[in-house]
Amino acid sequence: MRPNIKLHLSGMLTAAALFTAPLAGAQQKANAISSVPQANFAYDVTKESVVQGTVISYTAASDVAPIGPHAKIQTSSGVVDVHLGNPEAMKQNDIFLAAGDSVSIVGENENFGGAPVFLARVLHKGNQTVTLRNLKGIPVNAKAPANAKPRNIVGGAQ
């Protein structure tokens, strides 16, 4: 009877070791992710300002932090680097930027990697206005087109 107890106990220990091994790997991944430098800011609408000027350049997918669409705006006080949130929000609202466009942008200045970046919340161009961030500074999600078909997800993690 004792050999069965030892066999049963060693089987349970093996199963426990196999179960906890992936958890240890997940913990290491979480630690690796948290060590990546992140921007530490809290968007504050009471600190918003307005940037008015002329577009010098527009990049739809910049790899400069924060990644995504950036515009360089020539203002009366110099050039401002503006991050425009989610590019799909601009596309869906048929608002596009090109050199020479006159714009007015509501947002807040932040530092990313030691460089100042203006986080645009509301973009005005001519008679067009589009909201690019919510009041917490998070870029808005683009809405699905009205003619989009709903997706059926079957099986797998949901």
Question: Would you write out the chain's pLDDT as a tens digit for each of its 158 residues?
Answer: 455 555 555 555 555 555 555 545 544 444 443 333 445 567 888 899 999 999 999 988 877 778 788 899 999 999 999 998 888 888 888 888 999 999 999 999 888 878 888 999 999 999 999 999 888 888 888 665 555 555 555 655 55
- Domain ranges for the chain: 1-29, 45-131
- Rounded CA-CA distance 117/83 in Å is 7
Report the top-level CATH class of 45-131: mainly beta
The backbone region for 5, taken as left when phi is positive above 0, alpha when psi lies in -120 to 50, beta otherwise, is: alpha
Whose tokens are 């089987």? That residue is 11
Q: What is the pLDDT, as a whole number, of residue 16?
A: 53
Task: State pTM to two decimals.
Answer: 0.64
Contact 41, 109 (CB under 8 A): no
Report how far residue 149's alpha carbon sits from residue 77's, in angstroms, rounded to the nearest whole number. Answer: 48
**Whose structure tokens read 């669409």?**
69
What pLDDT is attached to residue 38?
46
